[in-house]
């Protein structure tokens, strides 16, 4: 709906010669469009449509894309960078078994919540085993039951670090020992149950184990 301007605005515009300027601008716009628009668009009457459009100079809304700040991809450290920075390196000379007992107690509470031995029945053993395969073992008390290296047999300690191929244990004698998973069998106890880990089938990172699907494999005795 077109609303006419007040009389005093029209009178003031005439005094300033704005009507004349308006006519000049109109002629300029018409000439500009005829000079720059393609012939086929002029035949379609697009010049008339453009002349009737208005550009609002206030309260203009910018597109969301222009306002959106570019998001930076969070860069994580590579394995080589972690190795160079020695982030995961455990000092084997200044470790105390007693200082890791709270970690072991925390792990026991974690496993109690994960397995829920209060409602445990032998019929649920398969389900429990699947949970233990994906559980975090840091803080567990592992014992080397069998190994091709006789010096590893009988070593018991709290698990400090797990890699793809090794377990890093600290014993009661405050000695840190790196035990290879390959050709070794480990055990740990929960309540009145003892569970066995066959290292040959357990060579995977703990982070990958949480999402990995394990298949039953035949185990060759050492």
The pair of three-digit structure tokens given for residue 125, joined into one six-digit string: 């053993």
Q: Which residue has the tokens 């700040």?
A: 69
CA distance 118 to 105: 18
How far apart, in whole angstroms, are the C-alpha atoms of residue 108 and residue 106?
5
Q: Which two tokens stand for residue 89?
A: 């390196």
Q: Please count the other Cβ atoms lying within 10 Å of the Cβ belonging to residue 159.
A: 24
Find where tokens 């007693």 sit: 98
Going from the N-terminus, what domains does the chain have, and what CATH number goes with each? 7-66 (no CATH), 94-209 (2.30.30.210)
Residue 79: its pLDDT value, please?
77
Give the containing element (helix H, strand E) for 185: strand 184-190
Distance CA 200, CA 6 (A): 93
Instruction: Give dist(CA 90, CA 106) in Å, integer.
Output: 20
DSSP class of residue 130 equals H
The pLDDT, as a whole number, for residue 92 is 80
Q: Which two tokens stand for residue 108?
A: 């026991």
Q: What are the backbone dihedrals phi and psi of residue 42, each rounded to the nearest 5 degrees, phi first?
A: -65, -40
- For every one of its 222 residues, what pLDDT tens digit does the chain have, with 9 covering 90 and above? 556 667 766 666 665 555 555 565 667 667 776 777 777 766 666 666 666 665 564 555 555 555 566 666 667 888 788 778 877 788 888 889 999 999 999 999 998 888 877 666 667 777 777 888 888 999 999 999 999 999 999 999 999 999 999 999 999 999 999 999 999 999 999 888 888 999 998 888 888 887 777 666 655 555
Residue 4: both structure tokens together: 């006419």
Tokens at 190, concatenated: 């929960």
């Amino acid at each position: 709906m077109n609303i006419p301007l007040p009389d005093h605005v029209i009178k003031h515009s005439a005094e300033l010669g704005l009507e004349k300027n308006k006519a000049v601008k109109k002629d300029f716009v018409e000439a500009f469009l005829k000079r720059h628009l393609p012939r086929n668009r002029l035949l379609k009457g697009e010049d008339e449509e453009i002349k009737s459009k208005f550009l609002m100079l206030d309260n203009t809304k910018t597109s969301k894309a222009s306002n959106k700040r570019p998001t930076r991809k969070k860069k994580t450290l590579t394995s080589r960078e972690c190795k160079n920075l020695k982030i995961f390196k455990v000092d084997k000379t200044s470790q105390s078994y007693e200082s890791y007992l709270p970690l072991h107690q925390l792990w026991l509470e974690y496993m109690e919540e994960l397995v829920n031995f209060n409602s445990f029945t032998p019929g649920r053993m398969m389900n429990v085993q699947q949970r233990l395969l994906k559980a975090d073992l840091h803080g567990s008390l592992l014992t080397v039951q069998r190994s091709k290296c006789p010096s590893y047999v009988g070593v018991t300690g709290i698990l400090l670090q797990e890699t793809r191929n090794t377990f890093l244990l600290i014993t009661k004698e405050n000695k840190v020992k790196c035990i290879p998973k390959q050709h070794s069998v480990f055990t740990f106890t929960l309540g009145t149950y003892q569970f066995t880990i066959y290292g040959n089938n357990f060579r995977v990172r703990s982070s990958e184990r949480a999402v990995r699907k394990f298949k039953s494999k035949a185990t060759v005795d050492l």
